[in-house]
Amino acid sequence: MADDPLAAIIGDLYPYGDKTTTYRSVPAEPVDRAAILAEIAGMAQVEDERGDKGTVSGSLYCGDHDHYHFLGRVFDLYSHANVLQRDMYPSATKFEGEIIAMTSELLHGTGVGVVTGGGSESLITALYSYREQARARGVTRPNVVKPVTAHVALDKGAHWMGIEMRHAPLAADYRADVAAMADLVDDQTIAVIGSAANYAHGLIDPIEEIAALAQSRGIGMHVDGCLGGWLLPWVERLGYELPLWDFRVPGVTSISADTHKYGYGLKGSSVLLYRDKALRKHQYFTFPDWPGGLYISPGFAGSRSGGILASTWAALLATGESGYLAAADGIMKTATAIRDGIRGGIPELEVIGDPVFLIAFKAAGDLDIYLVNDALIAQGWRMNPLQLPPALHFCITRPNTAPGVAEAFLEALHGAVAYATEHKGEPAKSGAVYGFGGTPQGNALVEMVMVQVLDAMHEVAPEHSS
Ligand SMILES: Cc1ncc(COP(=O)(O)O)c(C=O)c1O
């Protein structure tokens, strides 16, 4: 197994293969509800234990199980409701409108937006709006210019919609190189992108400069605030110095901000804000000539669960300003301790750029960072591995703010660096797939592996899977 990384990765997808019944067809008779609940509870308990220890980067933004239970109760009241049917569920209009209003107020917007099913949907929907806006002015070969670090969901959306995605390199500080972006903009460019903050390194791009570029070329600018949108405003209110990145910047025409990340809502919600209704209108779809009726749809989804809207709304209310500020305070203290601990105490590592709440670090010399990751994994830590350049990041969330976590992490990191130094030259286990990146042959192999893993994620456990 260990000699075949693909078999190992796929094997890890099915830990329950021989511990539970694998259903390959609908059971002939109903399974007892108590038994179903017990089986799910067993899996949930094991899987939550890891995240609850505070040793996981990102992933769990809130970590408070009372909060989750409360949101679950709210979800329960509307889980079955289809918010398309506003005559039946006018509460959906209240929830959705108020989620948009609260997000917009936080980001100094104009109150115009939509709620989507997540960050990727917000980003892809924004691309669609810009494509339609540009089509109206005669753009036929649309392209978008983004720094390489802007989220890959944009590449997915561009791929789906026949938009060319142009990747600008980074400046020496790892933020977007605006001059390089300017060189890539032409008369078919429909929008430029910046992140606040980006997934890879947690850095805020020079939004004011990118927005000025957009304005000078008469195009829109989307800021991907999926990750930082519900955190950075509180960090700023706490007195930390941050560059402007939201609608206070002229030229920013849309922003995505995920309520299911630092908004502490349940998974499945994000807000896409627009500076004006004219841009939002491009994502609306109306079809008056369908036998099924006059069709109006604001975005990608058809039926949507009222449970997501209700529980997202409830999450914002139940956390409140003081809750968000307290959470941001803890996150910033932990992130600062880790950033400074690496910078001041581990010369073998280099913190990438000047991060706020997500700390990315790479080897300062010839250390294999994936060997560092191997040792961290062995000690129960789960970082996000990066490539180009090889690095790891720790996205600080509330579970990581528990007393002692930052100190324990720095100690583990010291040990992991010692391990990587001692095992220099040996192949790393955790970085095997990422290690292929960079050469054309390697990428072809990686893509083949990725497709096989995606296939495996949509199949039942193979016989004798563990
Ligand atoms: C900066 C950024 N943008 C977009 C996304 C995509 O969000 P989602 O996973 O909700 O689709 C992420 C996810 O981590 C992100 O960090």
Q: Residue 210 — pLDDT band, cuts 50, 70, 90?
A: very high
The model carries a pTM of 0.94
Mean pLDDT value across residues 45-68: 93
User: Is 226 touching ligand 1 by the criterion CB < 6 Å?
Assistant: yes
Residue nearest to atom 7 of ligand 1 (CA): 119
What angle do helix axes 405-422 and 306-345 make, rounded to 10 degrees? 60
On average, the pLDDT of the chain sits at 93
pLDDT band at 445; cut points 50, 70, 90: low
Residue 317 pLDDT more than 50?
Answer: yes
By mean pLDDT, which of 179-193, 290-304, 348-362 is the weakest?
290-304
198 lines ligand 1 (CB under 6 A): yes
The rounded Å distance from CA 366 to ligand 1 centre is 31
pLDDT of 446 reads: 74
Buried b (16+ CB within 10 A) or exposed e, 192-205: bbbbbbbbbbbbbb
pLDDT at 18: 84
- Residue 442's pLDDT is 57
Is it the case that residue 1 has pLDDT exceeding 50? no
Q: Is pLDDT at 459 greater than 80 in this prediction?
A: yes
Residue 464 has a pLDDT of 65
Q: What is the pLDDT confidence band of residue 431, given thresholds at 50, 70 and 90?
A: low
With a cut of 70, say whether residue 441 has pLDDT above it.
no
C-alpha 118 to ligand 1 mean position (Å): 8
Query: How much is the pLDDT for 2?
Result: 47
Q: How far is the CA of 347 from the centre of ligand 1 (A)?
A: 31
Lowest mean pLDDT among 8-22, 93-107, 219-233, 368-382: 8-22
